[in-house]
A and B are shown apart, each in its own frame.
Chain A
């Protein structure tokens, strides 16, 4: 009879703890950081990335996150320059983002997700500059397309498709843009599927066809009933509000925009910014300029992290400030628009 092996309980406990602690990514320790659109943060080791989903190993369990919910990912061991480039891109400083990416030494990057991330921000920054300046749009479109075709499993895949659509809108090729946006509906994420429809509505708005856009947004809201994707529903409502403002239904538009703002969490900076933009437009449509000013000012005060909305808000603030005799503030808004977003379409619109 074999004598049972005696195990020192203290050693056993120590071993268990050691294993558990080594598997758990601790706060402040190196790990992948997934930032969500609601501002919250998830830490863990990324196991798998697809165009629709990210699998995050959190030590004791693996969590799946829909790509529609992801704002960005900071990968463990990524070059500092990539972190900088991502921040610059998000702040609308596309040239600086490209500069930071240029400074990365290629051999230092081994992880394929990091390489894909670098590629995405490089092509996206080029595309954003092209859209703003309306120059070299074709080259920019090709670059984004190149990224999408080479990285079908990137979590940026659908963003790249959307960006290609934006490039086509900038080229005034609305039909092709609509086709491009329709590709987003292939996603398994309900958020992204709805996004496809919203983008079509926005493209119609860009053409000035508010009635058709309104129909599109109404259709999104009808189709979305009972589905996930609250943010996209809110975006559709914002689009609807803007269309109402442009079709002589300003009061209805204001009520709708106000309701969206009330229902949106304050941390949802992106949605808050878009909602206040919509509200500002509604007020402009109703001739309530002071109210419009306050709605746009909200974005300047609280949503500077949203470069697209911020640039547009600054653009609208310039004449509104001038109208109330605040030439100093009008000048400040103009300077900020020109200095902070030199390549943005709203800056170009102001300068041309």
Chain B
């Protein structure tokens, strides 16, 4: 900015600018001030407005296009996009062109042309850049045109400066006329600069031709010759020395591009050997070194390349090593070292060189630059092979092992970042990156373990502890919880002043907790284990060492959990007492949550302890108290523990059938789970909270009856909408929520039936029906278990509804039939989809049963016939087939005979494929002699044989007598008739038969008397 200001003054001075009179504005000063404040746009507007204004001097007015051009160049430099940059530069070009056409001072014209040329070079580069991004492929032509224009501008600038130069007197006394002397010096410098820029533009033009083509070569050779002359003539000149040095650098570039590597090295030596005192020169020297290094790499002079870079990097001043030129040098040194490593057969040297190259690549990969991504790639490659030659056992010092471990950790981090990027942008790279992650994890673990093995008393404690911390994290992430717990616990307790101690404590607490949770046997025994003692010791330590912190709160929670697991409620409450008042609600909720979780755990046991109810009461009491406190204390934060306690309380209310209370709790304006979720509160962001909350809410709404079912479906809609954009895994989770809820509802419906609350049942079953239909739709992509459950649940609901509402039952049977059909089809088409062949058989049998339930008896029998063709002795299928004939008999009484005697005769054997109740009874009788489990089939079959005759009898006395005879025989064979259940059913049937026969309905007593 200051430079520009100087330029304005020079420009004005060149015009013989007089100080503006008070009547006119100080246009130059004003523009300068606006620039200094970063208000270039305003300055441009000001210049626009003053183009014809009498408020500024005519001289300033004439210079306005030039000033505008410069401002636009500044704006272009800051433009965020290439498009904007091009737009500014085009405007700048127009403005500067205007100026050169109207200005009459050759010096000023030169200035403007110089800037114009620069703009044109900028435009050419911007066009190339835009093409690299958008890839339209025409850039070389457009860019070449722009570079040609630039060359023309520089050429004209040179001519103008030459004219201006000639206008100065030959001899000027510097002491007598210092200003004039300096101005002439400046004009000469500009003249030389124009020449330099002209040939630089030529290099750019050459590069728009195919590398190696005649045009490419000719132009570069010409440029090299011209630049060489410039250097030779002015290298020792006080004014032109700097220009000459730059000319030499670009000459070197030409030879490098022409692949005349030796010549490039020789020429660039004139630049690299310059004592680089001024920052400008230091940058030029670093650039020259980079090109010389490239040339040497091309010639295979790798060791020399490394030497060249060493000097440059070692002498870099603070901050320089992160500048582009130095990053380039470092990147090239990495390349040379890596190539050298491949050439040597000495293992140690190879290892050392790879490590050194790795360090260079790692350094470059940390700083934004054009070399960054390539360096990252090279670093990952090198680190991968590096391990193959770097045996852990050869690492003899802590420092070396620690550094290698740290490198592996860096590599791991880089690979994890790359993985995140590749998952969405380059999935083809994912397997390789995952492999890198695995190997880096293994390396990190091995080197860090080695470091701790060879540690010495005077190795730095901070690094020793860092190695411990890394190892514990790696183990924790790798699921090696016991190892993680031991290491992190050790670090936290023994080195509490270490900066990672509290993190280690947190990790150890979590790891110990998970170790204990996985211990086999009773929780009370687990709470007495070694792991529990460690956890208790650490938790106590944490509460004392870091009181009033998140870690201390978590530790108190662990202590409370342990006390609860031990069944020591008093101790748990004592821990609560030790919590400071401001954290009491949080701890109270934690205790209540732990108690409720313990109750759920114990209650889900096959045989819950008799004390479980007492535990429930206590838990609910504590939940109520803690949630009440949280609701009343308006200033206390609603944390995850508070939110969970409120949710648990709602769950407890549902369990007791208090749906309204549950809903009230879920919707509470401070602690309600639904309120928190709607407000996206942090307390509701915990893993699984949303799922649990929606599940509980759905339960409450559905079970609350018709009035709330609409809201239930709204929640389901919200839930589905929120999951619709998520991945497949999330979709599955939602289905799981539905499934869990479905199971809960099924249980609840069952208990309504048992309690004879049929009105409530009717309402709730309707909601359940709708719910099942949604789940059936969702579960198309699910596995066998979910879909099978849906069909079974639909069928079960239909069976229950069959007596209450035939239409609804039929509708449900049809839905179940369609779902089952798809399930069977998929199982038959996809190997391994069903868990076993028997599972498929059961589904096919169900298909027959559902066909029968929907009145499609013939199709049902077809299905059974096919199954029994494959597996003739499948008793369950035979039973289902006989039952279907029996049902069919209601429509077609001839089928009653089939139900008893069987049907679907096979031509080959003359036997019925479907046995019917009589044969089933006989076969079951034989089987029951060997295995008691068949007794049920036996009694069932003969009961049904008698029952079918009873159904078929109508007024046929003979059929009724046969039915009665069957029962008599069964009674004579076994007076208990297989037990209470069957006895009752036989008795009831017999009484009906006796009534129809106009006999006294005394039941089985008739046979007892007879016998």
Residue of B nearest to A40 (CB): B457
Contacts A40-B457, A87-B454 given; does A297 touch B483 at CB 8 Å: yes
A302 engages B482 (CB within 8 Å): no
Complex Cα gap A41–B483 (Å): 29
User: Nearest Cβ distance between residue B464 and chain A, in whole angstroms?
Assistant: 11
B396 engages A87 (CB within 8 Å): yes
A294 engages B531 (CB within 8 Å): yes
Q: Which residues of A contact B449 (CB under 8 A)?
A: 304
Residue B273, interface by CB 8 Å: no
User: Nearest Cβ distance between residue B619 and chain A, in whole angstroms?
Assistant: 28
A301 engages B457 (CB within 8 Å): no
Q: Which residues of A contact B486 (CB under 8 A)?
A: 294, 297-298, 301-302
Residue B230, interface by CB 8 Å: no
Residue B104, interface by CB 8 Å: no
Residue A318, interface by CB 8 Å: no
A41 engages B452 (CB within 8 Å): no
Q: 1/0 per position for B450-483, CB-CB distance to A under 8 A? A: 0011111110000000000000000000000011
With most chain B CB atoms within 10 A of its CB, the pick from A283, A294, A305 is: A294
User: Nearest Cβ distance between residue A257 and chain B, in whole angstroms?
Assistant: 11
Q: Which residues of B contact A302 (CB under 8 A)?
A: 486-487, 490
A295 engages B530 (CB within 8 Å): yes
Q: 1/0 per position for A270-293, CB-CB distance to B under 8 A? A: 000000000000010000101101
A91 engages B530 (CB within 8 Å): no
Complex Cα gap A330–B453 (Å): 21
Residue B21, interface by CB 8 Å: no
Mark out the residues of chain B between 657 and 713 whose CB falls within 8 Å of any chain A CB in the assembled complex.
Answer: none
Residue A146, interface by CB 8 Å: no
Residue B520, interface by CB 8 Å: yes
Q: Which residues of A contact B455 (CB under 8 A)?
A: 305
Mark out the residues of chain B between 525 and 564 whose CB falls within 8 Å of any chain A CB in the assembled complex.
Answer: 529-531, 533-534
A304 engages B452 (CB within 8 Å): yes
Q: Which residues of B contact A294 (CB under 8 A)?
A: 482, 486, 515, 530-531, 534
A290 engages B490 (CB within 8 Å): no
Mark out the residues of chain B between 331 and 362 whose CB falls within 8 Å of any chain A CB in the assembled complex.
Answer: none
Partner of B453, one of A35, A84, A291, A304: A304
Q: Which residues of A contact B533 (CB under 8 A)?
A: 258
Residue B519, interface by CB 8 Å: yes
Residue B614, interface by CB 8 Å: no
Q: Which residues of B contact A87 (CB under 8 A)?
A: 396, 454
User: Nearest Cβ distance between residue B478 and chain A, in whole angstroms?
Assistant: 11
Residue B494, interface by CB 8 Å: yes
Q: Which residues of B contact A295 (CB under 8 A)?
A: 530
B483 engages A283 (CB within 8 Å): no
Q: 1/0 per position for A28-54, CB-CB distance to B under 8 A? A: 000000010001110000000000000
Partner of A291, one of B458, B483, B529: B529
Residue A266, interface by CB 8 Å: yes
User: Nearest Cβ distance between residue B657 and chain A, in whole angstroms?
Assistant: 42
Residue of A nearest to B486 (CB): A301
Q: Which residues of B contact A91 (CB under 8 A)?
A: 453
Q: Which residues of B contact A283 (CB under 8 A)?
A: 530
Number of interface residues of A (CB under 8 A): 24
A301 engages B487 (CB within 8 Å): yes
User: Nearest Cβ distance between residue A256 and chain B, in whole angstroms?
Assistant: 15
Q: Which residues of A contact B452 (CB under 8 A)?
A: 304-305
Mark out the residues of chain A between 297 and 315 whose CB falls within 8 Å of any chain B CB in the assembled complex.
Answer: 297-298, 300-302, 304-305
Q: 1/0 per position for B496-534, CB-CB distance to A under 8 A? A: 000000000000000000010001100000000111011
Residue of A nearest to B484 (CB): A301
User: Nearest Cβ distance between residue A260 and chain B, in whole angstroms?
Assistant: 14
A288 engages B529 (CB within 8 Å): yes
Complex Cα gap A84–B397 (Å): 10
Complex Cα gap A87–B490 (Å): 24
Residue of B nearest to A293 (CB): B482
Q: Which residues of B contact A258 (CB under 8 A)?
A: 533
Q: Which residues of A contact B454 (CB under 8 A)?
A: 87
Complex Cα gap A305–B459 (Å): 15
Complex Cα gap A294–B515 (Å): 10
Q: Which residues of A contact B534 (CB under 8 A)?
A: 294
Residue of A nearest to B531 (CB): A294
A301 engages B494 (CB within 8 Å): no
Complex Cα gap A298–B457 (Å): 21
Complex Cα gap A41–B494 (Å): 19
Partner of A290, one of B396, B453, B483, B519: B519
B483 engages A301 (CB within 8 Å): yes
User: Nearest Cβ distance between residue B765 and chain A, in whole angstroms?
Assistant: 44
User: Nearest Cβ distance between residue B517 and chain A, in whole angstroms?
Assistant: 13
User: Nearest Cβ distance between residue B3 and chain A, in whole angstroms?
Assistant: 51
B396 engages A84 (CB within 8 Å): yes
Residue of B nearest to A305 (CB): B453
Q: 1/0 per position for A230-267, CB-CB distance to B under 8 A? A: 00000000000000000000000000001000000010
Mark out the residues of chain A between 309 and 345 whose CB falls within 8 Å of any chain B CB in the assembled complex.
Answer: none
Q: 1/0 per position for B8-29, CB-CB distance to A under 8 A? A: 0000000000000000000000
Residue of B nearest to A329 (CB): B480
User: Nearest Cβ distance between residue B871 and chain A, in whole angstroms?
Assistant: 37
Complex Cα gap A298–B482 (Å): 9
Q: Which residues of A contact B396 (CB under 8 A)?
A: 84, 87
B458 engages A41 (CB within 8 Å): yes
User: Nearest Cβ distance between residue B573 and chain A, in whole angstroms?
Assistant: 27
B494 engages A266 (CB within 8 Å): yes
A41 engages B519 (CB within 8 Å): no
Q: Which residues of B contact A288 (CB under 8 A)?
A: 529-530
With most chain A CB atoms within 10 A of its CB, the pick from B452, B486, B531, B534 is: B486
Complex Cα gap A27–B457 (Å): 12
Complex Cα gap A39–B449 (Å): 18
A41 engages B530 (CB within 8 Å): no
Complex Cα gap A87–B483 (Å): 25
User: Nearest Cβ distance between residue A331 and chain B, in whole angstroms?
Assistant: 14
Complex Cα gap A255–B452 (Å): 30
Residue of A nearest to B482 (CB): A297
Complex Cα gap A87–B453 (Å): 10
Residue of B nearest to A96 (CB): B393
User: Nearest Cβ distance between residue B379 and chain A, in whole angstroms?
Assistant: 29
User: Nearest Cβ distance between residue B592 and chain A, in whole angstroms?
Assistant: 30
Q: Which residues of A contact B456 (CB under 8 A)?
A: 35, 41
Complex Cα gap A308–B405 (Å): 26
Complex Cα gap A35–B520 (Å): 44
**B-binding residues in A (CB < 8 A):** 27, 35, 39-41, 84, 87, 91, 258, 266, 283, 288, 290-291, 293-295, 297-298, 300-302, 304-305
Complex A-B: 12 CB contacts under 8 Å = A41-B457, A41-B458, A87-B396, A266-B494, A290-B531, A291-B530, A294-B486, A294-B534, A298-B486, A301-B490, A302-B490, A305-B455
Known: A41-B457, A294-B486. 15 other contacts (CB 8 A): A35-B457, A283-B530, A288-B529, A288-B530, A291-B529, A291-B531, A293-B482, A294-B515, A294-B534, A297-B486, A298-B486, A300-B483, A301-B490, A304-B449, A304-B452
- List the 5 shortest-distance A-B pairs measured between CB atoms, nearest first: A41-B457, A291-B530, A266-B494, A301-B486, A294-B530
